[in-house]
A and B are shown apart, each in its own frame.
Chain A
Amino acid sequence: MRIAVTLLVLAPSDDETARMFCAFAAERGHRAVMPQGFNEVCVTVTSGRDASYHVDLRVDGEPVRGVLHRGIGAPGGEDGDAMFAHAEALAVWWSALALWQGPVVNRATRQGFLPSLDPLLLARVPGVALPPSSLGRPLHAAAPAERVNVHRERDGMFLGRDTEAQVPDEILRFTLFDPDRVRYVLLAGDRVFEPSQTGGIPSSATRSALAPLLDRLRSLGADFCLLVLEPTGAGWRLLHVSALPTYHQFEPVLHLVFQALLDRLPAGQP
């Protein structure tokens, strides 16, 4: 017998994955609310002179029992008022979700509002390396199977492969890897998935090899993230990490992933 609770899903309105999670939680009798303004939620953070603090999160007077954090999206406009409102909202949610005593999937931390997962720093974990990659200067494939992947640095958007993906007036990130060897691993709560594998579960060898990296991600507050990796003879190349996985990246194991997220929150507790 599960006890229905109120969950808060902080996400921009166009986050389809967040909406699907809300529906999944509702099917299990819980109330999952995705507020699109402060008028839909009550947030209070108080602190004493000794820097002790308390956070109160409520929806319609009901205390929130768990939070799935997927950010607040981009500012609503480019004018000064919209930018200010966005910076203030970010500051409020950052303080609240970092200090709240309840469970938060992808908790805000002192290091970042969303877990900050730059492969440049994660590649310091033993067994993990960066692929050949460059900002601003195009790379050229060294082997026939390799492709040059092109991303926009300012927002990480994938633009395509090879020279046809290059666009002017952008700082581009070029990453060299063999697309046929790429593996996707999803960390969701206490569970690890590999959606392309039968049953969606990575082999024990893969889990063991990636354990230091997964531990590092958890230490950064990241417990819902997608890793894009390329195995090499000596270990793994870390191509990308996203703290905002989208449902199409884990569709074969969608319900298992959502259940793993619920299990991180009181809603998953019997």
Chain B
Amino acid sequence: MILCLGLAADPTFVHGLRALAAADLPFAVVDLPTLALYGDLTVPLDDLRATTVRTGDSAGHVVLGEVRAVWCRPLNVSAAAPAPATARRADGQYQALCRVLEAVDLPVLNPPWREATNAAKLLHAVTLAPVGGWRIPRSCLTNDPATARAFVRSCPRGTVVKGAGAAKTWATLFGSEHELLLPRLRHSPALFQERITGPDVRVHVVADRAFAESVHSPNVDYRTAHGANRYAPLDLPQTVLEGCRRLVADTRTPFLGVDFKIDRITGDWYFLEANSMPCYEGYDVRADGAISRAILDWLTAPHPHGSPWINPRSHSGRRSSRPR
């Protein structure tokens, strides 16, 4: 049985559940808001496999030691709880589940705190790009208006401005209207990056399998151009594919959504980020379910004790994750 932890209101989670049902695989679902409202969680910390989740709905309860693998997209839902008591329970359950999923000796796709640098974009980029062997756009994270102004002037093809962290912000092309806003940096830094003009690429990597699409958009941030983007499957260059495989091995997260830009003039690839909780359903539909099949294959494959996916060796930061 596969244990699925997430939110019924998360379209990506629902998409994954549909794939499990269509494949006729046994699974149990824990909807985290339902767990906070009506369910219960007990964790013997010296025997994590005896962890019991009472789901709070008709599914009853799940013992971790009885599941084959865990598929999770956890979010801390405490901020949206209807009452303070429920918020406290949701927060406590989220923290506890993330600790357990990091430490338990089971295949987990993905341990929620393992790729921690996603919360700090520039650290994330300079840490992971060398693993893949990739370039990144020249970047400047600063609260100094003069430094920002000088960086903008050093980017002849334009500068993109975005938030420094995991909270969703739109990548925006720096224009003359932003000059007046630069003094505000003194109170809140921002991340500036040289503009790379060309298509975006999203690669979904499941262990050693990868599925790539190029995204041609009229907008700087393709996520803002609803209905106007052109998506096309893409054969990955071997070096990029090998880099993606190294990245999942290095981060010990079996499923990543890796973002690139391709310079239209030079053809050079630039690494942007790797999302450990990607919203992949649209890409999966266009790929005729190939990403889902790879995820299900991973969840049902034997993972020997001591494989990089289980029996973790290191620690992760405590934070709230957001899907991207």
Judge whether B88 is part of the interface by a CB distance below 8 angstroms.
Answer: yes
List of B residues within 8 angstroms of A52 by Cβ: 126
CB contact between B119 and one of A37, A78, A90, A133 (< 8 Å): that residue:
A90
Judge whether A14 is part of the interface by a CB distance below 8 angstroms.
Answer: no
List of B residues within 8 angstroms of A211 by Cβ: none
Q: Who on chain B is nearest to A129 by CB?
A: B46
Judge whether B17 is part of the interface by a CB distance below 8 angstroms.
Answer: no
Known A-B contacts A121-B103, A153-B95, A154-B88; the reply to A47 vs B116 at CB < 8 A is no
Whether the pair A136, B96 counts as a contact (CB closer than 8 A) is: yes
List of B residues within 8 angstroms of A258 by Cβ: none
Whether the pair B122, A118 counts as a contact (CB closer than 8 A) is: no
Interface pick from B37-45, B207-215, B232-240: B37-45
A112 to B242: give the CA distance in the assembly, Å: 27
Whether the pair B120, A98 counts as a contact (CB closer than 8 A) is: yes
Q: Who on chain A is nearest to B320 by CB?
A: A87
Whether the pair B119, A99 counts as a contact (CB closer than 8 A) is: no
List of B residues within 8 angstroms of A171 by Cβ: 41, 89, 92-93, 95-96
Known A-B contacts A117-B315, A153-B92, A170-B89; the reply to A44 vs B119 at CB < 8 A is no
Whether the pair A51, B166 counts as a contact (CB closer than 8 A) is: no
CB contact between B315 and one of A94, A137, A172, A220 (< 8 Å): that residue:
A220
List of A residues within 8 angstroms of B129 by Cβ: 51
**Shortest Cβ distance from residue A89 to the other chain B in the assembled complex, whole angstroms:** 8
Judge whether B25 is part of the interface by a CB distance below 8 angstroms.
Answer: no
A45 to B136: give the CA distance in the assembly, Å: 14
Chain A interface size band reads 35 or more
List of B residues within 8 angstroms of A133 by Cβ: 44-46
Q: Mark A98-112, 1 if CB is under 8 A from B, else 0.
A: 110000000000111
Q: Mark A115-133, 1 if CB is under 8 A from B, else 0.
A: 1111011000000001111
B32-83 at interface with A (beta carbon < 8 Å): 40-46, 48, 79
List of B residues within 8 angstroms of A121 by Cβ: 102-103, 312, 314-315
Chain B binding surface SS class: mixed
Q: Mark B131-158, 1 if CB is under 8 A from A, else 0.
A: 0000111111111100100010000000
Known A-B contacts A49-B137, A95-B122, A134-B43; the reply to A112 vs B116 at CB < 8 A is yes
Judge whether A158 is part of the interface by a CB distance below 8 angstroms.
Answer: no
CB contact between A112 and one of B86, B99, B315 (< 8 Å): that residue:
B315
Chain B interface size band reads 35 or more
A154 to B87: give the CA distance in the assembly, Å: 10
Interface centre among A38, A91, A110, A168 (most CB of B within 10 A): A91
List of B residues within 8 angstroms of A87 by Cβ: 119, 165-167
Whether the pair B123, A136 counts as a contact (CB closer than 8 A) is: no
Interface centre among B44, B45, B46, B147 (most CB of A within 10 A): B45
Whether the pair B316, A111 counts as a contact (CB closer than 8 A) is: yes
**Shortest Cβ distance from residue B93 to the other chain A in the assembled complex, whole angstroms:** 6
Judge whether B317 is part of the interface by a CB distance below 8 angstroms.
Answer: yes
Judge whether A113 is part of the interface by a CB distance below 8 angstroms.
Answer: yes
List of A residues within 8 angstroms of B48 by Cβ: 120
A12 to B99: give the CA distance in the assembly, Å: 25
Q: Mark A64-99, 1 if CB is under 8 A from B, else 0.
A: 000000000000001000011101101110111011
CB contact between B186 and one of A38, A53, A116, A117 (< 8 Å): that residue:
A38
A260 to B134: give the CA distance in the assembly, Å: 41
A52 to B130: give the CA distance in the assembly, Å: 9
**Shortest Cβ distance from residue A168 to the other chain B in the assembled complex, whole angstroms:** 7
Q: Which B positions have Cβ atoms within 8 angstroms of A?
A: 40-46, 48, 79, 85-86, 88-89, 91-96, 99, 102-103, 113, 116-117, 119-123, 125-127, 129-130, 135-144, 147, 151, 163-167, 186-189, 270, 312, 314-319
